[in-house]
Homo-oligomer: A and B are copies of this chain.
Amino acid sequence: MRLYHHPRDAAPVHRELTALGTLQRKVRERRARRQAIQAAAVQVFSDKGFSRATMEDIARQAELSVGTIYLYYRSKEELYVSLLFESMKIFTGAIEKIMATGLPPDRQLKKVWEYFYTYHTRYPQSYRVLLFLQQPGLTAGISPKTLQEINVRAGRNFSLVSRVVAAAMAKGIYRAHEPREVVDLLWSLFLGLVHLSETRQNLGVTISTLKDLHRKAFRWLEAGLRPR
């Protein structure tokens, strides 16, 4: 396990300028390959978990050779982290879009909460990738710089939602709380719901679907937020 690595994301430096069209195609292809690998990795990681997933599994899934993956990612860890970044980016985008709607803040919050579920439905694996970060020892293989980057990006997402909550409080729609803490609770609740429902699925229990719990949870939570 290489502990840290330099990013392999940077565009390759060409000594002489090749035809512009060719260069563009190259860049496009490179991006496409990266995405293909990520798609395969998301699948495999979420099927087997980080440790049990093998690079060969991922290669097979991507219909590529193992060596090729290492042309795009320096290590299993780096590949994993790239998935995390991707997840976070999608999240950020979705939240920003909701905030741009100009809806009343409580309606926005509801949409955010709904997006949690949508995201989980659409990218169930990406979701699970997020959960890996809790695994002890995983962070040992990630460079401090990358960890810092993860923090920044995660913090950004939390801040965005905090702003929505703060707006609702400012308008008196919600009672005064520390907005950031409200977001922590919201997110924790969703995290826990997913965890619970997945555990139950693992164990073969079928009661109370995530969908159901998710809907009811918000109503209940919001009731606690609104003034009496």
A133 contacts across to B, CB distance below 8 A: 199, 202-203
| A203 contacts B150, C-beta separation under 8 Å | yes
Interface segment, A34-42, A93-101, A107-115, A188-196? A188-196
Beyond A134-B198, A189-B189, A204-B151, whether A228 also contacts B225 by CB under 8 A is: no
Contact-residue bracket for chain A: 35 or more
Residue numbers of A with Cβ under 8 A of B are: 15, 46-52, 63, 128, 131, 133-139, 144, 147, 150-151, 154-155, 177, 180-181, 184-185, 187-193, 195-196, 198-199, 202-205, 207-208, 212-213, 216-217, 220-225, 228
CB-defined A-B contacts under 8 Å, sample of 15: A46-B136, A47-B136, A49-B135, A49-B138, A50-B51, A52-B137, A134-B199, A136-B202, A139-B202, A181-B212, A185-B216, A188-B196, A192-B193, A220-B225, A221-B224
